[in-house]
Amino acid sequence: MSFSGVLRAALLCSLVVACSSQRPAETNAAAPPAPSPGAPATKDAAEAPGGEPSPAGAAGTAADAAGSAGSAGVAASAADEEPPIPEPSFDEVARVLFADRASPTTAAAACPSSTPPDARVRCLFDERYRGDAKSASLAHELFVRWRVVAGVEVAHTMNGGYRGMIRIEPALPIGAERKHIEWIVSAMHDFEAFFAELDRHHPVAEAAGGAPASRPKRYRWKPVTLRFMRSVAARTPSAYAHDWTVAWNLAGSLHRSADAVRETLFHEMFHLNDYAHPPPGGEAWSFHALGATFDAIVKRCGTAIPCLGPYSPNDTIVRGGTYYSFQPGNGVREYAAELAVRYYREQREQLRARPQTESTSSGASPARAAPSARGRFKCGPPENARAWTLMRDEFFGGVDAVPPCGS
């Protein structure tokens, strides 16, 4: 294996842990509120078998219905047809921002209720990110633009599986760590542009000259809650996800570039969506939809890398193991998350390889060459096409900008 291959494999080791750990139940002092009425029943994170992200409630921390933290709602386009997610209350935002304090709402005392609502929320971010005005502005932008509440994780010790117990401490992306929140804001801009581009590619939209189609967007990428933290004496997990919350490790070994952060964030968000789409009586979409396909591939190939190669959505190999998507213990959930990233990557490349008009907004990359047929996941074995289609239809409105195989 080349040096870069080994490095990549080493990095992925941390992703194994990233996706196999959650906050223990006893440390949930700042746990999200109960799901809103009508949400699927959720299981506590600590009960999830195999240590995967817990089933996500339909509403997370940012979805407390106690009242609006600010008067400005998330800008809605004609394509945003999903039921509105309630605004988080001021106190809810404070609880995420100051989750490391015994009394988060007391910590917000510098922002009295006499302050106009929007200015009061801004005050809260300035207080939390005091000492780094740029980070404060980025965190505020995440909230205003996408209702992403970027606060801190609660201190706890997590079970890191084969890596042992890992101490997690709350941390802020300020000063030398500001790059994390810069990367995340950049990733969110990219997601916004990506889903707008995907909308325009929808057959209905194309027939209408590129106008956004009015249809539900099923892949939720906002709002979510972000909780920054730092692992002590370890560089794993890089991130983990549960209950519409992504915990982000400032020491995470995967967070090495804007592109790596973008795909890691998309991967984690898939887990949240996976558990938000359970079949009747089931736990997550991936078990039901992709389980049989995944099991058949594993039965055929075991962990043999040459055999698994054509089926793996990602080319990363765990050191001493096999493809990350098929690494024993990861299960179909990780195959599915990697498939979601593969879908995102291929659509993004294809959409941005198209002639550029007014379409790309901030965060979008310049036009580039579209992937060749050889590089299209769906053009591999028949199992790939089946999984691709199921993913496309469940989470991405049936849109596929990638040309048909054979073209």
Structure tokens at 326: 């098929």
Binding test (CB under 5 A) with Zn ion, winner from 136, 142, 337, 340: 337
Residue 284's contacts (CB-CB under 8 Å, 6 or more residues apart) are: 55, 274, 275, 277, 278, 333
Decide whether 139 or 254 has the Cβ nearer to Zn ion: 254
H-helix or E-strand spanning residue 169: strand 165-170
Structure tokens at 294: 């995944």
Decide whether 242 or 352 has the Cβ nearer to Zn ion: 242
Least separation in angstroms between CB 316 and Zn ion: 12
Q: Which residues pair with 317 in a beta bridge?
A: 323
Question: Is residue 224 at the binding interface for Zn ion, with CB under 5 A as the rule?
Answer: no
Query: For Zn ion, what does the binding mask look like between residues 49 and 88, x meaning CB under 5 A?
Result: ----------------------------------------
164 conformational bin, left if phi > 0, alpha if psi -120 to 50, beta if neither:
left
Query: For Zn ion, what does the binding mask look like between residues 10 and 29, x meaning CB under 5 A?
Result: ---------x----------
Sign of CA dihedral 24, 29, 30, 34: positive
Q: In one letter, which amino acid is 282?
A: G
Decide whether 132 or 243 has the Cβ nearer to Zn ion: 243
- Residues 140 to 179: which contact Zn ion by CB under 5 A? none
Residue 184's contacts (CB-CB under 8 Å, 6 or more residues apart) are: 142, 150, 226, 248, 261, 265
**DSSP sequence for 233-279:** T----SEEEETTEEEEETT-TT-SSHHHHHHHHHHHHHHHHHHHSPP
Least separation in angstroms between CB 13 and Zn ion: 13
Least separation in angstroms between CB 303 and Zn ion: 18
Strand pairing category for 165-170 and 245-249: unpaired
Q: Which stretch binds Zn ion (CB under 5 A): 85-93, 118-126, 330-338, 397-405?
A: 330-338
Least separation in angstroms between CB 361 and Zn ion: 28
Decide whether 19 or 379 has the Cβ nearer to Zn ion: 19
Residue 341's contacts (CB-CB under 8 Å, 6 or more residues apart) are: 263, 266, 267, 270, 313, 314
Least separation in angstroms between CB 370 and Zn ion: 27
Helix residue spans in 69-210 (DSSP H): 90-97, 104-107, 117-128, 133-146, 178-201, 203-207
Decide whether 122 or 271 has the Cβ nearer to Zn ion: 271
Decide whether 69 or 297 has the Cβ nearer to Zn ion: 297
User: Of the candidates 242, 220, 284, 231, which has an alpha carbon nearest to the alpha carbon of residue 61?
Assistant: 242
Question: Is residue 239 at the binding interface for Zn ion, with CB under 5 A as the rule?
Answer: no
Q: What are phi and psi of 323, to 5 degrees?
A: -55, 140
Q: Which stretch binds Zn ion (CB under 5 A): 153-161, 221-229, 288-296, 336-344?
A: 336-344
Question: Is residue 247 at the binding interface for Zn ion, with CB under 5 A as the rule?
Answer: no
Q: Which stretch binds Zn ion (CB under 5 A): 110-118, 331-339, 371-379, 395-403?
A: 331-339
**Does residue 103 sit in helix, strand or coil?**
coil
Decide whether 19 or 250 has the Cβ nearer to Zn ion: 19
Decide whether 123 or 260 has the Cβ nearer to Zn ion: 260
Least separation in angstroms between CB 148 and Zn ion: 19
Q: Which residue is nearest to Zn ion (CB)?
A: 19
User: Of the candidates 250, 338, 237, 246, which has an alpha carbon nearest to the alpha carbon of residue 54?
Assistant: 246
Least separation in angstroms between CB 402 and Zn ion: 23
Decide whether 19 or 172 has the Cβ nearer to Zn ion: 19
Chain positions contacting Zn ion, by CB under 5 A: 19, 337
